[in-house]
Structure 1
Amino acid sequence: MTGQTDRKTMLKVLIVDDEPLVRTGIWYSICWQDYGMEPVAEADGVDGAIDVLQQRSIDIVFTDIVMPGRNGLDLLRWIQTNSPMTTSVVLSYHNDFSYIQKALRYGAADYILKTELNHDDVKLTLQHVAQKAVNNSKNLEELGTSPWTQLFRCGLAIISPFGSQVTAQKSDMLRVKHHIQVSRSSVLLLYGSAPDESVLLEMETRHKEKNILVVFKDTSSTPISSLLLAVKLFSERDLFYLYLPDISRYDCDMDLALNHDKTLDGPEYAVLEEEFSSMQWIYDEDLFSRMLERIIDARPLPSVIYNLFYSVQGQWARYFADGSIPDMLPISNIRFWYQWVNWLNNFKTFISNESHLSSYSPEILASIQQLLIWLSDNFSNNIKLKDAAKMVNLSESHLSRTFKNIVGLPFNIYVRGLRISHAKKLLTQSALKINDISDRCGFTDRFYFSKVFKKETGMAPSEYRNTNSII
């Protein structure tokens, strides 16, 4: 592994866990030399780990999360602020999303389950961790020790919004006292005095096709470790929310960047997930605006936003009889917050246009939303229009007209679509008998099921299975 990390000396590793047997297990279960690493110290808690970090040079810290007293997240925060060039990795038994989210927010390079230490995927993770630690170490070697005791009037980061390689050009180095390669896609330039506006404009013009400039002004009282942390946080979190294609320079508020302590944890995330899933935001512009404001105020990591919308997409699909969402910009192509907002607005427009909503009150629209969810969960039962009308407290005739106008399909056709869509999945993804599939999809008569299925798809159920089966 030393060849892979391009390093002559081994990366020094600290293992932190409150259980001695676990520390021993980690020490001996990983073939450290394969990754250019060497465990040199261990600690049974956060205080002991901080003592080690203050007394000797450590490249990588592997830490548990749940420990007596201060936990692993406290240690990650300490490292992020006091030793930002140290790479940290979480080793835990807890596969809990909130733990993972916080660990990554506090600078962990990765999150590894202890039960998966011998899996092939972990080998790739350890290689990535080793390379990151090598890059940090190279920065320290190039800088020496003097910059860490100096103060600088201005810091300027050159960042690729798309993760491309960034290197400082010779023309960028005028009046620069030091520069640090913070990551593959970001470089920090340190100035003894703030560069003139003309210098910034020239750099902005030179880089605007591929990169952005982030200016950290009046940093004379800011340690370099905090500047590095601010660049890291801007690259990994703030850029996602601030980036716009026509803006190539951003001024960063150091206090805002370093002291932002909000996120979407637990109940707050669950509330947003429920609100987006309900789709009431489509008809209530004030609610939609408040939801977006709460996200921007919390500024969670981009991965949290992706997880949120990937999750609610599955709920949205239940509003469509064929179980699929309209074909718009693929989520996989979205990189920034403004694109998410555009996507959501386009989705709102599509639903509003399709359902002719302008003449209905928010209360009626909300009732139909809840009915669609109920139908998605109960289509396998013997559902009648009168049952649905009773549920939403409308007469059958009123519901029949309203449902067709809002959803775009008559009630019975919509329910039949749900059943046929589910039948297709069972035919292609299970070995269930056709009789059983008929029952599970709400058809009490197999022959009627076959007749309806053939009318909808052009094929008998058995023929559809033979043609499309994936098992």
Structure 2
Amino acid sequence: MKRVLIVDDELLVRVGLKTTIPWEDHGYKLVGDAKNGKEAIDLITEKKPDIILTDISMPFMDGLELIRLIRKNYAQMKFIILSHHDDFKFAQQAISLGVIQYILKHELTAENLLTALNNASNDMPVEQFLLADNNKLLEVSVENETNSNAEMEKVLLNNQFYLNNDFYIIVSVHINEDFVESKKITLQFIKNLALEFLSDLPFKSFVNFNEKEIIFLLNLKKQTTIQTIKKIMQSVNENVKKILDVNLLIGISEKGNKKEEFKELYIQSQRAKEQSYFSRKNVMVYQKESDYGYDEKILFDNDLLESLVVSGCIRQVEKLLTELFQQIELSKNFNKLECVYSELLRLFNKLSSKKIEQEIGNFSAFVEVQRFILEQYISLSNKYIGGTERYSIHIQKSLSYINKYYSTDLSLAMLANFLEINKSYLSSLFKQELGINFTSYLTKVRIEKAKELLTQTDFKMYEIADQIGFDNPYYFSKVFRDLTGVNCKEYRKSHYKKE
């Protein structure tokens, strides 16, 4: 019976959790509750629970700090966070600390709490899940052609994995970013999330991990369609993006009916994963290569492009590059995209004093690569005819958007989503072209608007703060003084324009 400890500063929450489910009927025993992290440490030392349910915001010691401390001495303990904070930054920190699940309190039900507890109970220790010796199935059936069916059956039997449904598919899920912290924890979160979304289907699963990828072997009933699996994996991708701000590439194989087909299904899922880079939702079901014309050569006239750029022929440059990217998109071949991208960067750096060192791995999808190249070449062509455009297309659109929505709860992520580009890339554009980050620029715009209101209206300070996007009028006053050198009252007195 798994031992559970509750840590929450709200009395009603603690009482409610104790009565949410019949604990012992489901194999769990409540060993105590604490109202803050500091109090919890003594109970943890004494009771040694298997699972801890904890809030984030608590006095004396918050939930995240509690987890950091406990992890040092009790690496096997599992944590489930219950929080009021609907903020991916909190979730991101939690996942990086090995938290099994992050549940918002207003969405808490007996069913999803029990699901989280069962996930925690059934999961392997975080430190071992990539090293455990129970993921040999795909190594036997996919990576080694000399393995016999008897060897495969032995692996299946040893893992108690009985494939007795109607058909199989393989799904490959790849983290499409090199800078993701805590990849092992992120992969485990993605695995749990995917299995949770699949849980309503009649299926069996076997999951294999490597450094940046999860491979799901799914054994399904005939009433389940591949399109159903595609929709589920799209939901997984959207939620991972929302919670962890991580981009995935997901490839889904065709159906198979025999264990001997695992290798071919695996190859299909890998190919579909590559094809998914060209999909707006980054999820693809395998299609035969003949459907995309893989043998066709990408036509690219390097000399013509250079001539058009140095002649300042902006429309022709845009047309030529658009046609080039249309060929690549039709082929859905990442290797061809990578080769063309490298050649375009080489030519750009030859013609421009501003060198580009943007790796193709920094883009989450084909459309981002296309937009980036078009923007850079149009800007470069414009310079060759003495153009006066000061900023790139994305920054021009950003400045216009900020000027329109500065009074809202605007964030870099929201702006990047509007522009349909990577948030990190947009952040680098701000620093590169404006010399300041997004937050500093937004604050600058708001303070300029505040100056107008101070000099042209009789609004009170708290009214002005609210109109320009500051929740706290005291913080607004501080920021105003820091940026202008005087307080709001002094500024209004010296600049007020009377009718």
TM-score (norm 1): 0.36
TM-score (norm 2): 0.34
